[in-house]
Amino acid sequence: VCGGGERRAEAQGGKSEWPALGEANRAGKGLKGGKPSGPLPRHFGPSQSVVSSGDVIFFPDPGMPCRNFLQGQTCRRRNCTYEHHETGLSRFLSHIAKARSTVEVCCYTITCNEIADALEAAHKRGCKVRIITDDDQMSSSGSDILQLARAGIPVRNDASPANMHHKFCVLDGKEVLSGSFNYTRQAVLANRENA
């Protein structure tokens, strides 16, 4: 799903299915007009394609969404201080909620409980959920990664002294959520981010 494997495969005499971006661009096989102009890796069969909805989500949000709102219910708490309208996070979570077969995540860390809950819910409804994360961040304070592993979700780490700083999620092999957005509460509420 993400970085490192290509270099290791090539170093061991194998060939990566994913050409380096620079190579693809030099060979004229990059994206042209928003559509792939070169061959896709083998796991993209003729019946599959990458979806570009043009949906861009910007952060920070004014507040965290109310859990009742996220579940499509009416909040009955009188002084609820959470958001009761669509937010960047609620839009992000709605993409994960629509996944039907696979949710593949490659991210530095997950400390936003709402994202962890959405990944666990996808796993419980039968989606194959897999996570690759940074080895140093897996067990850091506030990380939800080990909780997700305990829930039965396969988790791998980069096993590298360098940061594994990717931030993307592939849904059903067709839709990609990608951008600067870290899967953290800080990113939701304070950082200038996009997904």
Buried/exposed code over 31-44 (b: 16+ C-beta within 10 A; e: otherwise) = eeeeeeeeeeeeee
DSSP for residue 138: T
Query: What length does the chain have?
Result: 195
Catalytic residue, candidates 117, 135, 172, 174: 172
Residue 134 appears among annotated catalytic residues: no
Measured N-to-C along each axis, helices 88-98 and 113-124 cross at an angle, to the nearest 10 degrees, of 10
Residue 167 appears among annotated catalytic residues: yes
Residue 165 appears among annotated catalytic residues: yes
Q: Which residues are CB-contacts of 179 (< 8 A; sequence separation ≥ 6)?
A: 56, 57, 167, 193, 194, 195
Catalytic residue, candidates 29, 128, 165, 174: 165
Catalytic residue, candidates 95, 123, 166, 167: 167
Residue in the block written with tokens 């194959």: 128
Q: Which residues are CB-contacts of 133 (< 8 A; sequence separation ≥ 6)?
A: 105, 106, 107, 108, 109, 110, 145, 155, 156, 157, 158, 164
DSSP, collapsed to helix, strand or coil, labels residue 143 as coil
Catalytic residues: 165, 167, 172
